[in-house]
Structure 1
Amino acid sequence: MYNNHVNKKQKNGGLGYLLVGAGAAAWWLSKEENRSKFDGWMSQAKKKLNGESIPSDEKFPVQKAGNPHPDDIADNKMVEEGAQFAVDYYNKKEQ
């Protein structure tokens, strides 16, 4: 009889932890920022489970896009010319 009583307490205690965990998850997911993080984690998990590879930073083809190093003259010149093209295009469109 004593063992039956202990088992019921253990089952009810587990349910309590489950409810506290569900409440904490609901509170955390109430923020939009956290929901988007969670969606990202879930999509990564789905890709891993389906065997799809997720590109790592080392395999990504563009390492310094949009942020040229000040000492990289060729890259800075390219960025400068690109900006000049956009300015010329805008000026011609406005005239």
Structure 2
Amino acid sequence: MKQKNGGLGYLLLGAGAAAWWMSKDENRTKFDSWMSQAKQKLNGETSPGDSFPVHKGGNPHPEDIDDNKMVDEGSQFAVNYYNKKQQ
């Protein structure tokens, strides 16, 4: 009875690809940054800008024409969908 060990091959292939990617100094710096961000998130630490990601939500500036137009139009998809269901 022959047993296949394909999982080991994929593991070695992944390790080789990771080693090749980490060979560049730029990629190592990116990886270190990602890992430090992950540690901060796991520990519950946040920076002041991360607490509320939406800064303009629900309060458009009076001179921002495009944003005011979007808020004025509302959700046309929902209105059209409701109208089609009623007819």
Structure 2 length-normalised TM: 0.52
How many residues in Structure 1 have an aligned counterpart in Structure 2? 52
In the alignment, what sits opposite 1:35?
28
Given the alignment, which residue of 12, 21, 31 partners 2:14? 21
Unaligned 5+ segments in structure 1 are 60-95
Identity across the alignment (%): 75
User: Would the aligned equivalents of 1:44 and 1:54 in 2 still touch at CA under 8 Å?
Assistant: no
CA offsets, 1:22-58, max 9 Å, x none? 0000000000000000000000001111111144478
- Cα distance in 1, alignment partners of residues 7 and 43 from structure 2: 32
Distance between the aligned counterparts of 1:48 and 1:32, measured in 2? Answer: 25
SS of equivalent to 1:25: helix
What TM-score do the two structures reach when normalised by structure 1? Answer: 0.48
Segments of structure 2 that go 5 or more residues without pairing to the other structure are: 53-87
Show structure 1 runs of 4+ deviating over 2 A: 54-59
Q: Distance in 2 between matches of 1:56 and 1:23?
A: 37
For 1:38 and 1:27, how far apart are their aligned partners in 2?
13
Counterpart-to-counterpart distance in 2, 1:50 and 1:58: 15
Give the residue type in structure 1 aligned to 2:9: G
Partner of 2:60: none
